[in-house]
Structure 1
Amino acid sequence: MTAVAASSPSLFGSGLVVRRVDGARMRTVPQILDALARAWDFPDHFGRNRDALDDCMRDLPTGLRTPEGTPSTGWLTIVDDASQVLADEPDAFEWFAESVDFWRDSYRDRRFAVLLVDDDPGAVRARWSDVGVRVTDPAEEI
């Protein structure tokens, strides 16, 4: 699930393990690799390339606990300032947007989601929709 909103909803009781990244620090592919590697604590052998990112995002650790202390039922990455993602490398945006769907589709027994937060959610929604990625409202999905 990919959702867009002007602010993050309450996630209390959602069962999701949440990591937050800053889209303003994800303006290039290397910055995306670094931000997600830090957020999800990728293993030392992470190769810092697109294929390695796919591998790690499709193999996130199970057994994590929510802030409430319950076992997690999935993962959520919140991207603040989402309009800034790949602003310096717009030709790579379609790859990234499609990758999010690819990662989500690889999880059958657990939830995987990305929440795009921005002051202009309409523009973010349009940007993702323009490359064929369905974006929903977080109230529908989270």
Structure 2
Amino acid sequence: MLDRHPPSRCCVRHPEPLSRPCPAPLDHKRPRPAGRDRATFRSWRLSTRKRSSTTRIDASNWSGLQDLHRDVAAALDFPDYYGRNFNALNDCLRDVVHQYYGWTPGTTGLALVLTGYDAFAGQCPDEAWTTLDLVAKCSRVASLLGRRLLCLVQSNDPNIQFEPVGAMTPHWNDAEWLHSAR
């Protein structure tokens, strides 16, 4: 006999409340990743769902704002009229959140991965912070629409720091903080 969901913990949407165990079997369990880091697990869980997509942008070769705007516009399919300034970036990121372009329709999550961001932050620290701040604000808008916009920033500099973005302070992943060889 298969285990059944209790009515209060059912993962299947039913048109009416259940008064007895759900007929759906409890066979959907997936293996969890090694480690205890919640953020890593949530990111892993988000990436394994078919309802999310990932966009990777290499920031290691950015020497200024022109490179940032060119690569972000290309990766997220911004329209031709994109103004290549921070006001236009904010407007287009909000359009991405509304899934007009740059976000696969029908998915609820978009992971924006910026690799080599320390190189760009070293050359243009104010612009690097402003970019992260805009993405953080658009992430909040996405959450209001029932979507997830996640920005993952990769850095080769263990001492990189930013002022609070979106009125929040960015922190190191706790699982990596104690590793001296990161």
Please give the TM-score of this superposition, normalised by the length of structure 2.
0.57
Which residues of structure 2 form unaligned runs of 5+? 1-38, 176-182
**1:48-71 deviation per Cα after TM superposition (whole angstroms, max 9, x unaligned):** 111111011111126716xxxxx3
Q: Percent of pairs identical after alignment?
A: 23
Q: Distance in 2 between matches of 1:9 and 1:78?
A: 14
Contact (CA 8 Å) 1:29, 1:86: kept in 2 or not?
no
CA RMSD for the aligned pairs?
3.0
**1:93-142 deviation per Cα after TM superposition (whole angstroms, max 9, x unaligned):** 3322321212212221210111112334x434xx13xx113335499xxx
Please give the TM-score of this superposition, normalised by the length of structure 1.
0.71
Match of 1:84 among 100, 119, 123: 119
CA 1:90 to 1:78, structure 2 compared with 1: closer, same or farther past 3 Å?
same
| Residues 1:44 and 2:76 are matched in the alignment | no
Corresponding letter in the other structure for 1:54: N
Higher relative contact order (CA 8 A, sep 6+): 1
Which residues of structure 1 form unaligned runs of 5+? 66-70
Aligned residue for 1:106, secondary structure, equals helix
Structure of greater Rg: 2
CA 1:73 to 1:52, structure 2 compared with 1: closer, same or farther past 3 Å?
same
Match of 1:68 in 2: none
Q: How does 1:1-142 map to 2 (within 5 A)?
A: 11-13=47-49, 15-60=51-96, 61=99, 64=104, 71-107=106-142, 108=144, 109-120=146-157, 122-124=158-160, 127-128=161-162, 131-133=163-165, 134-135=169-170, 137=173
Contact (CA 8 Å) 2:62, 2:120: kept in 1 or not?
yes
